[in-house]
């Protein structure tokens, strides 16, 4: 969900996505590469993101991911699910 | 859908995806290294730190690749490659497994195909489940309750009054001669209502089927339909056959259609169909006679009507018919019913026999799987260290089980493929053992099993592949599951050596016991069936069966009146007797082991009531030819011809039953058409079996050929091979009448074989299967004891070193074998006692729990098992204690 949200702001390559999440959460959430790339591949298969190669220097390229409409739908679905769960947990924790 | 497409793309462009992933990760690493440099690390440390931060890139790539969803394919591929390497390392095991399974699976496939075509799915018509066989039921004191045919008036009432069927059709089958083609041929013909073909849902492949107006008596011209087989055989598959006129029983008929290939009617052997009008023309009084019961009836249920409802309705309809016009016939009561067509077409005895064989074949497959499971357990022990190391390296147990299963499943599938080939051969062999479908003058109530009915169908092959897979899983599961539960430490510590009881020994013993017990059940069954078959063969026919050949002639009534017929057959008999090599020739209208006319309602002068008997017309030399003994009085001779007083002979059973304690010679009897007691009994002859040899002999009355004129069969006994004379016989027939077809050419030995085909079929197949089971049991026992001895080498070596003699060691092993054997026999005997009663419908001359058979089977099995364990036992005695201790 976090990856999708990050991409909602604009296309990024893998490294940048990881940095972005780290920054936005004030270093609380750190996406391990071990889970980032598998997740990106899964999202590629599911059709939630699209990838293309972009020149990133004289002799190298970067793979940039962008959100698809299907991805956007998936994102809003995941966000609403998460919010529901959050609210339920809050209700339970809240002093009576 | 799109997702599937994307995943497929990965499969096709695998290399590119791998490269791109690699490149992407490389990029990430470099970015990370750059950031590290910006944070103050030098170039080399920056890269090193980046790599460390990145983590295990191999694992990362692996996990990413898993997302593509094809990793299971790859691991399966690796497992298969590994299994293939294992197989190549020990070909004997693989070959043994594949062959064993090929036999087991192939046998099941062949038998099940027969079961499918003959029992489960005998009717291939459109929506066959809605077709019912509608019949009358007659209950009569002496004959019990039997299904009966319809008469035309009754059938008409059924058709008019019924509410359950959307259409009802009648049919009757008989033999006719087809003339007007190159060579006249004797065929089976079915007479059908006009709505017969629409009812069963079969249409013409060429031309048309009958139209409604072709059922009535004033039909424009006689039309007929022919089968595809006949069309190819006698008309050269010429489309111009439609419209040709040929002759059936001397009457011209025009062919209006050819039916689809493989369709041969309910009888299974019909080649020609004519409309109901043909029947009514031949028998004008049949249209109105309520007591002429000749027709079968088929109905297609209306939508929404259940078979039970239809059955009930028919019962009520027939009750109404009986109320309005009671059927007067030998003090019988009449009822009616309807049952599914498939039930009516399958001989229940054949159905039973096939199910029994199927069960036996399945048991054989089970035994094979048990055997292989034992072998596999043995092999997995040998691989213990390798497996333990793998577990230690982190393979998860589920993956291990899957890996261990690949080998047996692969072998099973290979065995299955080979089994398909075996099954094809097996089917060809089975077909040879089936009775030749004869054209006989009599209706077969059940359909003949023709070669067209046994073919491989796609659904069967698919089912069979599943079976192979299941077999592989079955025999591979146990070893794999046990292997995965091993305690890794234990195995690695002991270094693969064995202490105490070898692993899996109890399980292997259990497998062998199970195997042996099932083999005992098979052996006992085979024994019972073989004894039944032998008893049937030994049942005396009452007549000579060697070197005798019989031929039937279809002398048409239009050209052969009674006088002409008498002269013809007499002349033929003389000519045949004059041929070289012929010892005796006779004519008759029935011969031993074949169907015959019978009559009810004989009356005997001086006795009250009616008598049933078989009626046979024979020439004087008939009894000499078949060596039937004369018990009293005289046989027929030249005196007994037309114009002279009528004479009859009785068989022993008739004499005993009609004249208990009296002398029948000189008494007089009459048959139903006669007005006075005109026939004098002049002799009594020995009993002969007509019909099935298992049934008891019925009373028989013989008439003299020259007085009855109803002979149709020529019988000839030769000094040498009887079949050699057939072409000369055909020549003689042709010399007398060149248009007369000769058919049903069989030797008496062939008839005996035909009469006992079911018993022979079952006995041979069961015998074969028990022989295989015995072999497998021997192999299994040998295997388990070999293993046990090899695994306990150290123990035995120690014993010998401590002073145990050879005989003691031998005795120890043999005792163990005897215990296993004893348990297996006990289990097997109880199972056999419980199950063999299922065979009772097939047994003859022996009970289902015959002690002699059971004892013999048990003794044979015990002997084989003990012998199989003897070799390993002897090997145990040869163990050199010095060597084994040295090896430690």
Pair B192, B320 in one domain: yes
In a domain, B95, yes or no: no
Q: Report the residue from A13, A33, A45 with minimal CB separation from B60.
A: A33
| pLDDT per residue as tens digits for the range B47-106 | 787 777 777 777 777 777 777 777 777 778 888 888 888 778 778 888 888 888 888 888
Please indicate, yes or no, whether residues B334 and B376 belong to a single structural domain of this protein: no
Size of interface A-B (CB pairs under 8 A): 65
- pLDDT tens digits along B168-197: 999 998 888 888 887 888 888 999 998 999
pLDDT of residue B825: 94
- Round the average pLDDT of chain B to a whole number and report it: 84
Neighbours of B80 (CB within 10 A): 15
Helix or strand (DSSP H, E) at B258: strand B251-258
* Burial class of residue B580, CB neighbours in 10 A (0-12, 13-18, 19+): exposed
Q: Rounded to a whole number, what is the largest CA-CA distance in chain A?
A: 62
Measured between beta carbons, the chain A residues lying within 8 angstroms of B25 are 33, 37
Pairing, β B668-670 against β A61-67 = unpaired
Picking from B3, B25, B69, the nearest residue to A37 by CB comes out as B25
C-beta separation of B167 from B299 below 8 A: yes
Contact predicate B257/B204, CB 8 Å: yes
Rounded CA gap, B176 and B248, in Å?
Answer: 6
Query: Is A90 at the interface with chain B, CB within 8 A?
Result: no
Residues B565 and B669 in one domain: yes
Of B142 and B263, which is predicted with more confidence? Answer: B263
Nearest by CB to B32, which of A13, A15, A45?
A15
pLDDT at position B628 is 93
> Looking at residue B487, what DSSP letter applies?
-
Please give the structure tokens belonging to residue A23: 């920054």
Over range B251-255, report the average pLDDT.
87
Provide the pLDDT confidence category of residue B593 given band limits of 50, 70 and 90. confident
A2-93: CATH number: 1.10.10.10
H helix intervals, B162-205: 196-200
Mean pLDDT calculated for residue range B538-564: 85
pLDDT on residue B606: 84
pLDDT tens string B431-452: 777 766 543 323 334 455 555 5
Residues B625 and B764 in one domain: no
pLDDT at B357 over 80: yes
Q: Based on C-alpha coordinates, what's the Rg of chain A?
A: 16
CA-CA distance, B120 to B118, in Å (whole number)? Answer: 6
Which DSSP helix (H) or strand (E) runs through B477? helix B458-484
A:5-34 residues touching chain B, CB 8 A cutoff: 13-15, 32-34
Q: Which of B165-169, B285-289, B768-772 has the lowest mean pLDDT?
A: B285-289
What is the structure's pLDDT at B674?
Answer: 65
Query: Min CA distance, B72 vs chain A (Å)?
Result: 16
The Cα–Cα gap between B655 and B660 comes to 7
Q: What residues of chain A lie within 8 A of the CB of B6, using their CB? A: 44-45, 47
Q: Please report whether residue B550 resides in a domain.
A: no
Clarify whether residues B144 and B58 are in a common domain: no
Q: Is position B209 within any domain?
A: yes
**Pick the residue with more confidence: A59 or B826?**
B826
Span B680-690, pLDDT tens digits: 999 999 999 98
pLDDT of residue B739: 81
Residue B501: what pLDDT? 56
Calpha distance B887→B830 (Å, rounded): 46
Among chain A residues, the shortest Cα distance to B28 is held by: A15
Q: Is residue B547 part of a domain?
A: no
CA distance A84 to chain B (A): 28
What percentage of chain B carries pLDDT values higher than 70?
Answer: 93
Reply yes or no on whether the pLDDT at B609 is more than 80.
no
Q: In this predicted structure, what is the pLDDT of residue B513?
A: 92
Residue pair A1/A82 in contact by the 8 Å Cβ criterion = yes
Is the Cβ–Cβ distance between B192 and B198 less than 8 Å?
A: no
Which of B2, B28, B55 lies nearest to residue A15, judging by beta carbons?
B28
Residue B638 shares a structural domain with residue B518 = no
Best A23, A30, A34 member to test B by mutation, with max B CBs in 10 Å, is A34
d(CA B134, CA B164): 12
Confidence at residue B288, expressed as pLDDT on a 0 to 100 scale: 84
Span B299-316, pLDDT tens digits: 999 999 999 999 999 999
Token pair listed for B645: 């007083």
Contact A47 B59 (CB under 8 A): no
What local confidence, expressed as pLDDT, does residue B440 receive?
34
The count of domains in chain B is 4
DSSP assignment of B651-688: EHHHHHHHSTTS--TT-EEE-TT-SS--EEEEEEE---
- Kindly report the nearest CA distance between residue A50 and chain B, in angstroms: 11
Does the pLDDT value for residue B500 go beyond 50?
no
Q: Which residues of B touch A38 (CB under 8 A)?
A: 60, 63-64, 66-67
Per-residue pLDDT of chain A (96 residues; tens, 9 = 90+): 788 888 888 888 888 888 888 888 777 777 777 788 888 888 888 888 988 888 877 778 888 888 899 888 988 888 899 899 998 898 888 876
Does B810 lie in the same domain as B827? Answer: yes
Residues B10, B684: Cα–Cα separation, whole Å: 92
Question: pLDDT for B518-534, tens place per residue?
Answer: 999 999 999 999 999 98
CA atoms within 13 A on the CB side of B321: 29
Q: Are B382 and B454 part of one and the same domain?
A: yes
Whole-number Å distance between alpha carbons of B756 and B538:
11
Q: Which residues lie below 8 Å from residue B94, measured CB to CB, with a gap of 6+?
A: B87, B411
Q: Residues of chain B whose C-beta is under 8 A from some C-beta in A? A: 2-3, 6-7, 10, 20-21, 23-25, 27-28, 30-32, 53-56, 59-60, 63-69
Clarify whether residues B514 and B623 are in a common domain: no
Domain assignment present for B751:
no
Q: Do A46 and B31 touch (CB under 8 A)?
A: no
3-state class of B455 per DSSP?
A: coil
Q: Are residues B416 and B531 in the same domain?
A: yes
Q: Domain boundary at B345, B377, B412, which?
A: B345
Quote the domain boundaries for residue B46: 2-69
Residue B498 has pLDDT above 80, yes or no: no
Distance CA B69, CA B66 (A): 5
How do residues B192-225 score in pLDDT, each as one tens digit? 998 999 999 888 988 998 887 776 655 557 889 9
How far apart are alpha carbons B717 and B621 in whole angstroms?
Answer: 11
Chain B residues touching A39 at Cβ < 8 A: 67
Same domain, B706 and B591: yes
Q: Is A58 on the interface with B (CB under 8 A)?
A: no
Average pLDDT over residues B248-276: 87
Name the pLDDT band for B755 (thresholds 50, 70, 90): confident
CA angle B22, B27, B31 (to 5 degrees): 150
Question: Does one domain contain both B640 and B696?
Answer: yes
Asked if A45 and B68 come within 8 Å (Cβ–Cβ), the reply is: yes
- Give the closest residue to B391 by CA, choosing from B486, B494, B490: B486
Half-sphere exposure of B510 (CA within 13 A, CB side): 7
What is the C-alpha separation between B729 and B735, in angstroms, rounded?
10
Q: What is the pLDDT of residue B445?
A: 42
**B5-11 LR contacts (CB < 8 Å, sep 24+):** B6/A44, B6/A45, B6/A47, B7/A45, B7/B68, B7/B69, B7/B70, B10/A45, B10/B68, B10/B69, B10/B70, B11/B70
Strongest mean pLDDT among B199-203, B782-786, B821-825:
B821-825
Name the packing angle between helices B397-433 and B757-791 (round to 10°). Answer: 150
Q: What is the ipTM of this complex?
A: 0.84
Q: What six digits make up the tokens of B371? A: 């055997």
Tell me: pLDDT of B318 over 50.
yes
Q: Which residue has the tokens 């097939």?
A: B842
Q: What's the pLDDT at A12? A: 86
Name the token pair of B655.
Answer: 């004499």
Contact B357, B111 (CB under 8 A): yes
In a domain, B747, yes or no: no
Report the C-alpha gap between B451 and B430 in whole angstroms. Answer: 10
Helix locations, B792-838, DSSP H: 793-801, 806-835
């Amino acid at each position: 969900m976090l990856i999708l949200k990050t991409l909602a702001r604009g296309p990024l390559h893998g490294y940048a996505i990881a940095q972005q999440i780290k920054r936005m959460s004030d270093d609380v959430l750190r996406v391990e590469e071990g889970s980032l790339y598998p997740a990106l591949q899964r999202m590629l298969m599911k059709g939630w993101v699209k990838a293309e190669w972009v020149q990133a220097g004289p002799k190298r390229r970067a793979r940039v991911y962008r959100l698809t409409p299907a991805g956007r739908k998936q994102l809003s679905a995941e966000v609403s699910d998460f919010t529901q769960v959050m609210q339920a947990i809050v209700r339970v924790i809240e002093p009576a | 859908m799109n997702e599937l497409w994307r995943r497929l793309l990965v499969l096709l462009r695998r290399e590119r995806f791998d490269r791109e992933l690699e490149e992407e990760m490389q990029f990430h690493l470099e970015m990370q290294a750059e950031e590290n440099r910006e944070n103050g690390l030098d170039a080399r440390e920056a890269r090193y730190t980046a790599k460390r931060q990145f983590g295990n890139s191999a694992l990362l790539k692996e996990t990413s690749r898993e997302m593509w969803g094809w990793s299971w394919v790859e691991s399966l591929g690796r497992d298969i490659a590994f299994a293939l390497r294992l197989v190549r390392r020990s070909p004997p095991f693989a070959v043994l497994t594949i062959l064993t399974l090929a036999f087991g699976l192939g046998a099941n496939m062949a038998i099940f195909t027969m079961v499918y075509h003959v029992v489960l799915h005998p009717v291939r018509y459109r929506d066959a489940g809605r077709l019912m066989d509608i019949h009358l039921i007659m209950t009569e004191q002496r004959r019990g309750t039997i299904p009966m045919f319809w008469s035309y008036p009754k059938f008409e009432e059924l058709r008019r009054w019924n509410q359950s069927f959307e259409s009802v059709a009648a049919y009757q089958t008989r033999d006719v001669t087809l003339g007007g083609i190159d060579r006249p041929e004797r065929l089976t013909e079915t007479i059908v209502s006009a709505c017969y073909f629409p009812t069963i849902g079969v249409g013409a492949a060429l031309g048309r089927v009958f139209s409604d107006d072709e059922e009535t008596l004033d039909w424009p011209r006689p039309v007929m339909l022919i089968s595809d087989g006949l069309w190819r055989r006698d008309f050269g598959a010429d489309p111009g056959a439609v419209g040709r006129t040929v002759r059936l029983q001397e009457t011209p008929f025009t062919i209006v259609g050819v039916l689809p290939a493989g369709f041969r009617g309910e009888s299974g052997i019909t080649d020609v169909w004519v409309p109901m009008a043909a029947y009514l023309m031949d028998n004008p009084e049949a249209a109105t006679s309520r007591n002429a019961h000749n027709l079968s009836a088929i109905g297609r249920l209306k939508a929404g009507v259940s078979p039970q409802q239809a059955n009930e309705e028919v019962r009520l309809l027939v009750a109404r018919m009986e109320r309005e016009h009671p059927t007067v016939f030998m003090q019988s009561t009449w009822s009616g019913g309807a049952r599914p067509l498939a039930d009516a077409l399958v001989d229940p005895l054949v159905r039973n026999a096939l199910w029994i064989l199927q069960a036996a074949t399945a048991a054989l497959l089970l035994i094979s799987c048990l055997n292989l499971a034992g072998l596999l357990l043995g092999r997995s022990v040998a691989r213990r260290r390798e497996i333990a190391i793998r577990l230690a390296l982190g393979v998860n147990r589920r993956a291990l089980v899957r890996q261990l299963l690949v080998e047996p499943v692969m072998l099973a599938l290979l065995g299955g493929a080979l089994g398909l080939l075996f099954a094809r051969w097996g089917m060809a062999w089975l077909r040879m053992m089936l009775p030749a479908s004869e054209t006989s003058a009599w209706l077969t109530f059940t359909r003949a099993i023709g070669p067209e009915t046994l073919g491989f169908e796609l659904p069967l092959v698919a089912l069979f592949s599943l079976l192979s897979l299941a077999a592989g899983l079955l025999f591979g599961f146990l070893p794999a599951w046990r292997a995965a539960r091993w305690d890794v430490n234990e195995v690695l510590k002991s270094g693969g050596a064995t202490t105490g009881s070898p692993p899996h020994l109890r399980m292997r013993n259990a497998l062998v016991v199970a195997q042996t017990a099932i083999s005992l059940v098979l052996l006992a069954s085979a024994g019972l069936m073989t004894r039944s078959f032998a008893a049937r063969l030994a049942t005396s026919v009452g007549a000579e069966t060697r070197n005798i050949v019989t031929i039937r002639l279809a002398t048409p009534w239009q050209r052969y009146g009674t006088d002409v017929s008498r002269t013809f057959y007499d002349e033929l008999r003389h000519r045949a007797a004059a041929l070289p090599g012929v010892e005796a020739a006779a004519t008759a209208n029935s011969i031993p082991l074949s169907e015959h006319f019978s009559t009810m309602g004989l009356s005997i002068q001086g006795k009250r009531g009616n008598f049933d008997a078989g009626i046979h017309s024979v020439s004087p030399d008939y009894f000499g030819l078949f060596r039937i003994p004369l018990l009293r009085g005289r046989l027929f001779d030249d005196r007994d011809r037309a114009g002279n007083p009528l004479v009859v002979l009785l068989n022993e059973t008739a004499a005993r039953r009609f004249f208990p304690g009296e002398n029948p010679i000189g008494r007089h009897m009459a048959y139903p058409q006669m007005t006075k007691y005109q026939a004098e009994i002049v002799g009594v002859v020995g009993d002969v079996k007509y019909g099935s040899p298992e049934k008891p002999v019925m009373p028989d009355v013989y008439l003299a050929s020259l007085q009855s004129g109803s002979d149709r069969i020529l019988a000839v006994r030769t000094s040498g091979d009887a079949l050699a004379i057939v072409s000369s016989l055909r020549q003689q027939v042709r010399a007398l009448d060149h248009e007369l077809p000769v058919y049903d050419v069989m030797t008496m030995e062939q008839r005996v074989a035909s009469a006992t085909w079911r018993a022979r079929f079952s006995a041979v197949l069961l015998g074969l299967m028990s022989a295989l089971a015995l072999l497998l049991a021997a192999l299994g026992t040998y295997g388990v004891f070999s293993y046990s001895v090899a695994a306990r080498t150290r123990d035995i070596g120690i014993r010998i070193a401590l002073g145990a003699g050879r005989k003691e060691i031998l005795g120890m092993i043999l005792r163990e074998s005897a215990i296993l054997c004893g348990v297996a026999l006990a289990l097997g005997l109880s199972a056999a006692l419980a199950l063999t009663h299922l065979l009772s419908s097939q047994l003859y001359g022996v009970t289902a729990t015959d002690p002699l058979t059971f004892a013999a089977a048990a003794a044979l099995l015990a002997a084989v098992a003990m012998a199989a364990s003897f070799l390993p036992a002897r090997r145990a005695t040869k163990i050199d204690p010095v060597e084994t201790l040295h090896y430690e």
